[in-house]
Homo-oligomer: A and B are copies of this chain.
Amino acid sequence: MKASDKAYAALRRDIVSWALPPGSVLGEVEQAERLGVSRTPLREALSRLAADGLAVSQRGRGVVVSDVSLDHVDDLFSLRRALEVEAARSAARTGSPAVFNELARRFDAAARTLSAAAERDGYYSLAGELDAAIEDAASNAYLAQALQGLRVHLARLRRLSHDAPARLRASAREHAQIARAVASGDPGLASAATLLHLHNSLEHIKSHALPKEASA
Protein backbone atom coordinates (compact mmCIF):
# COMPACT_ATOMS: atom_id res chain seq x y z
CA MET A 1 0.00 0.00 0.00
CA LYS A 2 1.27 3.42 -0.90
CA ALA A 3 2.18 5.72 1.93
CA SER A 4 -0.08 8.44 0.54
CA ASP A 5 -3.05 6.05 0.56
CA LYS A 6 -2.25 5.06 4.11
CA ALA A 7 -2.10 8.68 5.21
CA TYR A 8 -5.31 9.53 3.37
CA ALA A 9 -7.19 6.59 4.86
CA ALA A 10 -5.98 7.36 8.37
CA LEU A 11 -6.79 11.06 8.21
CA ARG A 12 -10.17 10.45 6.64
CA ARG A 13 -11.04 7.90 9.30
CA ASP A 14 -9.97 10.29 12.05
CA ILE A 15 -12.00 13.13 10.58
CA VAL A 16 -15.17 11.10 10.06
CA SER A 17 -14.90 9.65 13.57
CA TRP A 18 -14.40 13.13 15.03
CA ALA A 19 -11.02 12.13 16.44
CA LEU A 20 -9.99 15.19 14.46
CA PRO A 21 -12.91 17.55 15.12
CA PRO A 22 -13.81 20.43 12.80
CA GLY A 23 -11.32 23.25 13.02
CA SER A 24 -8.34 21.03 13.78
CA VAL A 25 -5.26 22.28 12.03
CA LEU A 26 -3.52 19.60 10.03
CA GLY A 27 0.11 20.69 10.20
CA GLU A 28 2.16 18.91 7.62
CA VAL A 29 5.12 18.13 9.84
CA GLU A 30 2.95 17.17 12.80
CA GLN A 31 0.71 14.79 10.87
CA ALA A 32 3.60 13.36 8.88
CA GLU A 33 5.34 12.40 12.10
CA ARG A 34 2.18 11.06 13.68
CA LEU A 35 1.38 8.81 10.72
CA GLY A 36 4.96 7.78 10.09
CA VAL A 37 5.18 9.07 6.54
CA SER A 38 7.08 11.87 4.87
CA ARG A 39 5.65 15.24 4.02
CA THR A 40 5.34 14.50 0.31
CA PRO A 41 2.74 11.69 0.50
CA LEU A 42 1.01 13.52 3.33
CA ARG A 43 0.55 16.57 1.14
CA GLU A 44 -1.09 14.37 -1.47
CA ALA A 45 -3.41 13.02 1.20
CA LEU A 46 -4.32 16.57 2.25
CA SER A 47 -5.07 17.44 -1.36
CA ARG A 48 -7.48 14.56 -1.63
CA LEU A 49 -9.14 15.50 1.65
CA ALA A 50 -9.59 19.04 0.39
CA ALA A 51 -11.10 17.72 -2.84
CA ASP A 52 -13.53 15.66 -0.76
CA GLY A 53 -14.51 18.75 1.17
CA LEU A 54 -13.35 17.23 4.46
CA ALA A 55 -10.62 19.84 4.81
CA VAL A 56 -10.11 23.35 3.54
CA SER A 57 -6.73 24.87 2.88
CA GLN A 58 -6.55 28.31 4.37
CA ARG A 59 -4.12 30.72 2.83
CA GLY A 60 -0.91 30.52 4.80
CA ARG A 61 -2.48 28.90 7.83
CA GLY A 62 -2.30 25.47 6.32
CA VAL A 63 -5.12 22.96 6.16
CA VAL A 64 -7.90 22.68 8.71
CA VAL A 65 -10.68 20.14 9.10
CA SER A 66 -13.77 21.61 7.49
CA ASP A 67 -16.61 22.81 9.62
CA VAL A 68 -19.80 20.82 9.90
CA SER A 69 -22.89 21.73 11.79
CA LEU A 70 -26.63 21.49 11.63
CA ASP A 71 -26.59 24.77 9.73
CA HIS A 72 -25.52 22.78 6.68
CA VAL A 73 -27.92 19.91 7.10
CA ASP A 74 -30.62 21.42 4.91
CA ASP A 75 -28.21 22.02 2.06
CA LEU A 76 -26.71 18.59 2.43
CA PHE A 77 -30.09 16.90 2.36
CA SER A 78 -31.12 18.97 -0.64
CA LEU A 79 -28.26 17.45 -2.57
CA ARG A 80 -28.89 14.04 -1.05
CA ARG A 81 -32.51 14.14 -2.14
CA ALA A 82 -31.58 15.00 -5.70
CA LEU A 83 -28.98 12.27 -5.96
CA GLU A 84 -30.69 9.43 -4.12
CA VAL A 85 -34.04 9.98 -5.80
CA GLU A 86 -32.35 9.80 -9.18
CA ALA A 87 -30.42 6.71 -8.11
CA ALA A 88 -33.58 5.00 -6.88
CA ARG A 89 -35.37 5.80 -10.13
CA SER A 90 -32.57 4.32 -12.19
CA ALA A 91 -32.24 1.29 -9.95
CA ALA A 92 -35.95 0.57 -10.23
CA ARG A 93 -35.59 0.33 -14.00
CA THR A 94 -32.65 -2.04 -14.10
CA GLY A 95 -32.32 -3.62 -10.66
CA SER A 96 -32.84 -7.30 -9.99
CA PRO A 97 -36.09 -7.82 -8.01
CA ALA A 98 -34.63 -10.82 -6.20
CA VAL A 99 -31.77 -8.81 -4.74
CA PHE A 100 -33.97 -6.01 -3.48
CA ASN A 101 -36.71 -8.28 -2.17
CA GLU A 102 -34.06 -10.08 -0.14
CA LEU A 103 -32.85 -6.77 1.24
CA ALA A 104 -36.43 -5.80 2.07
CA ARG A 105 -36.81 -9.05 3.99
CA ARG A 106 -33.70 -8.31 6.04
CA PHE A 107 -34.94 -4.80 6.80
CA ASP A 108 -38.24 -6.24 7.97
CA ALA A 109 -36.34 -8.53 10.33
CA ALA A 110 -34.29 -5.61 11.58
CA ALA A 111 -37.43 -3.55 12.20
CA ARG A 112 -38.77 -6.32 14.41
CA THR A 113 -35.64 -7.10 16.39
CA LEU A 114 -33.83 -3.77 16.72
CA SER A 115 -33.79 -2.71 20.32
CA ALA A 116 -30.44 -2.08 21.94
CA ALA A 117 -28.20 0.71 20.78
CA ALA A 118 -25.49 -1.91 20.42
CA GLU A 119 -27.15 -3.10 17.21
CA ARG A 120 -26.83 0.35 15.73
CA ASP A 121 -23.64 -0.31 13.81
CA GLY A 122 -25.05 -3.49 12.34
CA TYR A 123 -28.07 -1.61 11.10
CA TYR A 124 -25.96 1.12 9.57
CA SER A 125 -24.07 -1.60 7.78
CA LEU A 126 -27.30 -3.04 6.41
CA ALA A 127 -28.41 0.40 5.26
CA GLY A 128 -25.04 0.72 3.57
CA GLU A 129 -25.72 -2.51 1.70
CA LEU A 130 -28.95 -1.08 0.32
CA ASP A 131 -27.18 2.09 -0.74
CA ALA A 132 -24.51 0.02 -2.48
CA ALA A 133 -27.12 -2.17 -4.18
CA ILE A 134 -28.99 0.85 -5.49
CA GLU A 135 -25.79 2.48 -6.62
CA ASP A 136 -24.75 -0.73 -8.34
CA ALA A 137 -28.12 -1.20 -10.03
CA ALA A 138 -28.14 2.39 -11.25
CA SER A 139 -24.77 1.67 -12.93
CA ASN A 140 -23.95 5.33 -13.42
CA ALA A 141 -20.35 6.13 -12.66
CA TYR A 142 -20.94 9.89 -12.45
CA LEU A 143 -23.87 9.50 -10.08
CA ALA A 144 -21.92 6.97 -8.02
CA GLN A 145 -19.01 9.35 -7.60
CA ALA A 146 -21.30 12.16 -6.48
CA LEU A 147 -22.98 9.84 -3.98
CA GLN A 148 -19.67 8.68 -2.57
CA GLY A 149 -18.61 12.25 -2.01
CA LEU A 150 -21.87 12.95 -0.26
CA ARG A 151 -21.84 9.95 2.07
CA VAL A 152 -18.61 11.05 3.74
CA HIS A 153 -20.29 14.22 4.91
CA LEU A 154 -23.39 12.33 6.01
CA ALA A 155 -21.28 9.93 8.07
CA ARG A 156 -19.67 12.89 9.79
CA LEU A 157 -23.04 14.46 10.44
CA ARG A 158 -24.31 11.28 12.09
CA ARG A 159 -22.53 12.19 15.28
CA LEU A 160 -24.66 15.30 15.69
CA SER A 161 -27.95 13.46 15.97
CA HIS A 162 -29.45 11.00 18.39
CA ASP A 163 -30.54 7.76 16.78
CA ALA A 164 -32.99 6.36 19.28
CA PRO A 165 -34.10 2.74 18.78
CA ALA A 166 -37.60 3.91 17.87
CA ARG A 167 -36.23 5.97 15.01
CA LEU A 168 -34.02 3.10 13.87
CA ARG A 169 -37.03 0.80 13.66
CA ALA A 170 -39.00 3.37 11.71
CA SER A 171 -36.03 3.88 9.46
CA ALA A 172 -35.82 0.13 8.86
CA ARG A 173 -39.44 0.07 7.77
CA GLU A 174 -38.82 2.94 5.39
CA HIS A 175 -35.77 1.21 3.97
CA ALA A 176 -37.81 -1.94 3.44
CA GLN A 177 -40.31 0.16 1.53
CA ILE A 178 -37.57 1.58 -0.67
CA ALA A 179 -36.17 -1.86 -1.40
CA ARG A 180 -39.62 -3.21 -2.31
CA ALA A 181 -40.33 -0.19 -4.50
CA VAL A 182 -37.09 -0.74 -6.39
CA ALA A 183 -37.84 -4.45 -6.68
CA SER A 184 -41.25 -3.64 -8.13
CA GLY A 185 -39.57 -1.85 -11.03
CA ASP A 186 -41.68 1.29 -10.61
CA PRO A 187 -39.40 4.36 -10.78
CA GLY A 188 -42.09 6.68 -9.43
CA LEU A 189 -42.70 4.46 -6.45
CA ALA A 190 -38.99 4.12 -5.73
CA SER A 191 -38.64 7.87 -5.96
CA ALA A 192 -41.53 8.46 -3.57
CA ALA A 193 -40.29 5.96 -1.00
CA THR A 194 -36.85 7.53 -1.05
CA LEU A 195 -38.28 11.03 -0.75
CA LEU A 196 -40.37 10.01 2.21
CA HIS A 197 -37.47 8.37 4.01
CA LEU A 198 -35.20 11.35 3.52
CA HIS A 199 -37.90 13.71 4.72
CA ASN A 200 -38.45 11.71 7.92
CA SER A 201 -34.72 11.34 8.47
CA LEU A 202 -34.15 15.07 8.13
CA GLU A 203 -37.06 15.89 10.40
CA HIS A 204 -35.72 13.55 13.04
CA ILE A 205 -32.24 15.02 12.86
CA LYS A 206 -33.49 18.57 13.18
CA SER A 207 -35.83 17.84 16.07
CA HIS A 208 -33.42 15.63 18.00
CA ALA A 209 -30.29 17.68 17.55
CA LEU A 210 -27.62 17.43 20.17
CA PRO A 211 -27.64 20.68 22.13
CA LYS A 212 -24.15 22.05 21.63
CA GLU A 213 -21.71 19.87 19.76
CA ALA A 214 -21.73 21.72 16.47
CA SER A 215 -18.92 23.98 17.49
CA ALA A 216 -15.66 24.14 15.58
Contacts and interface: CB of A to CB of B under 8 A. Distances in A.
B146 A142 contact: no
A117 interface: no
Interface in A74-102: 75-76, 78-79, 81-83, 85-86, 90
A79 B48 CA distance: 22
Q: How many copies does the complex hold?
A: 2
B146 A153 contact: no
A145 B143 CA distance: 14
A82 B187 CA distance: 14
Contacts of A150: 142
A72 B76 CA distance: 26
Contacts of A52: 51
A26 to B, nearest CB: 16
Main secondary structure of the interface of A (DSSP, over half): helix
Interface in A51-85: 51-53, 72, 75-76, 78-79, 81-83, 85
Given A53-B142, A79-B83, A79-B142, 19 more contacts: A44-B44, A44-B47, A47-B47, A48-B51, A51-B51, A51-B52, A53-B145, A72-B142, A75-B140, A75-B142, A78-B140, A79-B86, A79-B143, A81-B86, A82-B83, A82-B85, A83-B146, A142-B150, A146-B149
27 contacts: A40-B40, A44-B44, A44-B47, A47-B48, A47-B51, A51-B52, A53-B142, A53-B145, A72-B141, A72-B142, A75-B140, A75-B141, A75-B142, A76-B142, A78-B86, A78-B142, A78-B143, A79-B83, A79-B140, A79-B142, A79-B143, A81-B86, A82-B82, A82-B85, A82-B143, A142-B150, A146-B146
